[in-house]
Structure 1
Amino acid sequence: MEREAMEFDVVIVGAGPAGLAAAIRLRTLAVEKGNDLSVCVLEKGSEVGAHILSGAVIEPRAFDELIPDWRDKGAPMDQPAGDDRFLFLTQGRAIPLPAPPQMHNKGNFIVSLGNVCRWLAEQAEAMGVEIYPGFAAAEVLFHDDGSVKGVATGAMGVGKDGQPTEQFEPGMELHAKQTIFAEGCRGSLTKGLMSRFNLREGVQPQTYGIGIKELWEVDASVHKPGLIEHTIGWPVPSDVYGGSFQYHFGDNMVAVGFVIGLDYKNPHLSPFDEFQRFKTHPAIRPTFENARRVAYGARALAEGGWQSIPKLSFPGGVLVGDTAGFLNVPKIKGTHTAMKSGMLAAEAVFDHLTADKAGAAGGYQEAVQASWLGQELKKVRNIRPSFKWGLWGGLGYSALEAYVFRGAMPWTLGHHEDHAALKKASECPRIDYPKPDGKLTFDRLSSVYLSNTNHEENQPCHLTLKDDTVPTRINLAEYAGPEARFCPAGVYEFVEDQAGAGQRLQINFQNCVHCKTCDIKDPTQNINWVVPQGGDGPNYPNM
């Protein structure tokens, strides 16, 4: 069946903070200039916010620029940041440290980023933006000259065997003069664009972390509205970049999570189990002992910063937000930077379209570099890569940067590919994790249940393998099957082959929370994450 096509001036892939900010800024400019610009946003989640996961503490600077009267319009940012705490954990102690200057949160807000995106979507629709949730952009379309023509959504009703079922519906083509890719971290379409247009030439490799988060309803006696607490140290060893967050907000709600850099070396390490173990610390346990866990999720984070930002524009399209890597790692914030990138991209795209030009939207990269976004990221560019010297080396260097050089050093430290950091299992100590107690610590499957994840079972697996033999022949034999540990959702497990040929990899794609960790950390880069049917995946409430 032929696909139908719809025409727009601009198509935006992804209804996260960057994509929605771009949409709102485009329509604002269109109204100001009397230009009836048509803007469409595609969102692979079942609704806007369904796939959004962040800590989250928001710096409102981008909101002030995008929607100056956001307070009067009822933006869901009701919990002002309060006390900042920064702790170094040993196995039995919590040692207070002075919070680095980048982690001071006066004037910021603790929020559910999913709810913020739902509100942004309402503002965008009120301005004439068309938003289509439940439609996953599965393919980039190109003109004969090689420029981006738009995107196509994936077909619905395709069976496991790849053949159409009775419910088959072909995808829809969305053609645009410019396409803005706001897919979030490790976007599946962005990966192809990086290769096709050589967007990473001359920049450092992107490096990533995995963030795992739970939402708890705690006893009023331990709830401290506005409290922001971060920790480093235990339970991860000093050669692993990682730390925790706790944010108290709302009606006795606490967002708690752990972030681990995906450049860790030991294949026996499990980020999920490290997070569960963290909650047993004597300084952490009391908050959650008489509490109820209500939500769970996980998401990869682009941590490379300034030196890892690729070329941002190409014929027919631009990259914005975390798909390009605008997270400020020392601040542990990326919403304000993602939104600013979307706004700057919108301005470049608008100027490009009103000038009736073809090709790439010029000026966007330069605008990023000249803006407070570029200045902010450039100033802290060396802090994350300094932790290649371990926890103490990284802390020492970061202090030197923050208090002496203040971002003005003449050098730039480099990154490396995360998957290449993994050592062979025989070179690393095993890690024995305690069994979950079901009250404070949990297993993967009960956690995935709280993410409201659902995938229609009769569809092709969206976690594709370039070579089916690699998981057992290389990953299991040499790295002890790290897929079963770096995935926070129990998607990958090695089981006995029914034919008696040893173990085989079983992919439980129904559990996938779309964190993209497998696509990043697989040591052989054999796993390729692509979008499932539109609307499938997690349905995060208040995350």
Structure 2
Amino acid sequence: MERDVMEFDVLIVGGGPAGLAAAIRLKQLNAELNVCLIEKGSEIGAHILSGAIMDPQALTELLPDWQAQGAPLDTPVTEDRFVFLSAAGSFQVPGFMLPECFQNHGNYIISLGNVCRWLGQQAEALGVEIYPGFAGAGVLYNDDGSVKGVVTGDMGVGKDGQPGPAFQPGMELHAKYTLFAEGCRGHLGKQLEQKFNLRNGADPQVYGIGIKELWEIQPDKHVKGMAMHTAGWPLPNDTYGGSFCYHYGDNLVSIGYVVGLGYSNPHLSPFEEFQRYKTHPQIRAMLEGGKRISYGARAISAGGLQALPKLIFPGGALLGDDAGFLNVSRIKGSHAALKSGMMAAEAVADALAAGRSADELTSYPQKFRESWLYEELHRARNFKPWMSKGLYMGTLMVGLDQVVFRGKAPWTLHHTADHLKLKKAAECAPIDYPKPDGVISFDRLSSVFLSNTNHEEDEPCHLQLKDPAVPMKINLPLYDAPEQRYCPAGVYEVLKDDTGNPRLQINAQNCLHCKTCDIKDPTQNINWMVPQGGEGPVYPGM
């Protein structure tokens, strides 16, 4: 079909911190550059979800006057707590025993969505063209195989795959360089890794799922600036994970749970573990009398330095969590995303100034190798592998690695892909989760409602099964259909058909775009595709 074509010097796919930092840095370096950024959410920040505590180092490098410009970093961390939970009790680690990675002096509790909205305003003021509601559906290539740009998704396609009465074809966006900053498990980034063999020599990426709620609590229970993390209950000791609880703003609490997607028991439900965690006496006491405002979930790239792919390919580069720039030991990625975007932008600006286009931006990985970010990720590289060996062993070895060796141990541990770690259901004990009380703990559907998620009902399902028979032939008998439990939004249900046989129903309209199904499915049969632009959650202040 005929598509409209737009040409740019630089195209950026994704309006998170990495993409926005790249756009801003490009215009700082050369105001004449024609820079376009597309974002699949309905607005900048709509799909952004993070804990979040921000280290302002990269932001200060990008915009030194961010405080004077009104950046929404207004709650400095004033107290760190790390607590080991048991079913009824707790033990707080003394402050002097906290590893450096859990110390947040000089950092800020933020809404990353609001920070991105502010960054978007800074980018537009510099002349960046920002188009929210446009999803990058496919990569375009030049005749020589280099990346030419992307095509945005068609709008108004019916469930049958045919154009409807409101059909609008997507546009071709061409650029001399295209930067991919889609976030964790980027749909296009995954394709680029395969096409250009970017993972040759790298560990498989490993992930966690972060499930978050925003609460407004009673003023007398609010400790503004307090950052608390927990480990232990309710997860079994052999399963990686823990909680975060950040007090900021006007009586707001950002509370959530992270579960490593390398867990082995297919009966485990990260969503239910989070709901159960909130019933702990210490957590319940804090939340009682408060109001849950919002809910969301997002996968997290947790593989660290050894799981980073090759960052560049002819015509473009991977930025931020599209590559895996997250320091899992610090539970922080926004500063790393900002820094990666800045380094890629500098490499692009240098290439364009030299009259080059559509080649490999070799100075980008070189800049990374010489940066403070590389040093930081190198220190943290063994945290996730050690903690994946269990709470007690992991805590002991992380203490040795981070306190004794200060991250410079003469070894690097490696990863196994998450989907390979799931055991058969018959080998694992079922888990009896308590029913939600509707006050502190909740069900999936009432939670999804608070995410403001919306997808058109009459459109193709963006959760594609490579083989439609696999869920009932393999996943159900062998793993008790784990997609029912690892999805935090109730997208996957096993129902009975008219003859009484089980069938998989996909409620794609509930999808939070967390990408967990694309990661954890044991047969790798689910492929997450972008739906129409502008669809999905609309997170307020997440």
TM-score (normalised: structure 1): 0.98
- 1:29 — aligned with what? 29
Separation (CA, whole Å) in 1 of partners of 2:260 and 2:67? 35
What corresponds to 1:181 in structure 2? 180
Matched, 1:252 2:251: yes
Of the three residues 52, 55, 59, the one matched with 1:56 is 52
- Alignment of structure 1 residues 306-385 onto 2, 5 Å: 306-358=305-357, 359-385=359-385
Deviation at 1:90, TM superposition (A): 0.6
Cα shift at 1:357: 2.0
Residue in structure 1 matched with residue 491 of structure 2 by the alignment:
491
Report 1:278-293 matches (<5 A): 278-293=277-292
Tell whether the 8 Å contact from 1:11 to 1:180 is kept in structure 2 after alignment.
yes
C-alpha displacement of 1:434: 0.5
Q: Which amino acid aligns with 2:279?
A: T
Match of 1:9 in 2: 9
1:413 is aligned to 2:413: yes
How far residue 305 of structure 1 moved from its aligned partner, in angstroms, is 0.2
Relative to 1, partners in 2 of residues 1:388 and 1:80: Cα closer, same or farther, differing over 3 Å?
Answer: closer
**C-alpha contact (below 8 Å) 1:138/1:154 kept by paired residues:** yes
Alignment of 1:126-525 (within 5 A): 126-358=125-357, 359-500=359-500, 502-525=501-524
Are the equivalent residues in 2 in contact too, given 1:302–1:322 (CA < 8 A)?
A: yes
Q: Which digits, 9 at most, give the CA deviation of each residue in 1:119-177, with x for residues without a partner?
A: 00000000000000000000000011100000010000000000000000000110000
Classify the secondary structure of the residue corresponding to 1:389.
Answer: coil
Deviation for aligned residue 1:100: 2.0
The alignment of Structure 1 onto Structure 2 pairs a total of residues equal to 538
Asked whether 1:46 is paired with 2:46, we answer no
Separation in structure 2 between the aligned mates of residue 410 and residue 284 of structure 1, nearest angstrom? 40
Q: Which runs of 4+ in 1 moved over 6 A?
A: none
Deviation of 1:499 (Å): 3.5
Contact 1:280 1:440 in 2 (8 A): yes
Q: Show the counterpart of 1:86.
A: 82
Distance in 2 (CA, whole Å) between partners of 1:291 and 1:498 is 44
Displacement of 1:340 after TM fit? 0.1
Distance 2:388 2:330 in 1: 19
Note the residue ranges of structure 1 that are not aligned, 5 or more in a row.
none
- Deviation per CA, 1:44-78: give whole Å up to 9, x if none: 00000000000011000011100000000000111
Measured after TM superposition, the shift of residue 431 of structure 1 is 0.2
Cα distance in 2 for residues equivalent to 1:379 and 1:363: 23
Per the alignment, in what secondary structure is the counterpart of residue 165 of structure 1? Answer: strand
Task: State the 1:251 CA deviation.
Answer: 1.0
What's the offset of the Cα at 1:203?
0.7
How much does 1:402 deviate? 1.3
Q: Please list the CA deviations of residues 293-318 of structure 1 after superposition, one character each: whole Å capped at 9, or x if unmatched.
A: 01000000000000001000100010
TM-score, structure 2 normalization: 0.99
Alpha-carbon deviations, 1:82-109, whole Å to 9, x = none? 1100000011111011432111111111
Amino acid at match of 1:467: D
Correspondence for 1:96: 92
CA contact (8 A) 1:41 1:131 kept: yes
Map Cα deviations across residues 493-536 of structure 1 (whole Å, 9 max, x no partner).
00001243x11000000000000000000000000000000000
> Comparing 281-290 with 461-470, which one deviates more in the overlay?
281-290
Where do 5+ consecutive residues of structure 2 fail to align?
none
Tell me how far apart the structure 2 counterparts of residues 46 and 335 of structure 1 sit (CA, whole Å).
Answer: 21
Q: Give the letter aligned to residue 230 of structure 1.
A: H
Q: Distance in 2 between matches of 1:353 and 1:472?
A: 52
Contact 2:262/2:422 (<8 A) preserved:
yes
Q: Tell me if the contact between 2:487 and 2:516 (Cα under 8 Å) persists in the aligned partners.
A: yes
Task: Please say if residues 99 and 403 of structure 2, whose CA atoms lie closer than 8 Å, have aligned partners that are also in contact.
Answer: no
> Could you tell me how far apart the structure 1 residues matched to 2:251 and 2:92 are?
24
Residue 410 of structure 1 and its aligned partner are, at CA, apart by 1.9
**1:328 maps to amino acid:** N
2: CA distance between counterparts of 1:498 and 1:420? 34
CA contact (8 A) 1:352 1:362 kept: no
Inter-partner Cα distance in structure 2 for 1:99 and 1:276: 27
SS at match of 1:102: helix
Paired with 1:230 and 1:20, the residues of 2 have a C-alpha distance of 29
Query: Aligned partners of 1:100, 1:117: CA distance in 2, in Å?
Result: 29
In structure 1, the residue matched to 2:531 is 532
CA distance, structure 1, for counterparts of residue 504 and residue 235 of structure 2: 27
Distance 1:177 1:297 in 2: 36
Q: Distance in 2 between matches of 1:410 and 1:363?
A: 28
Percent of aligned pairs with the same amino acid? 63
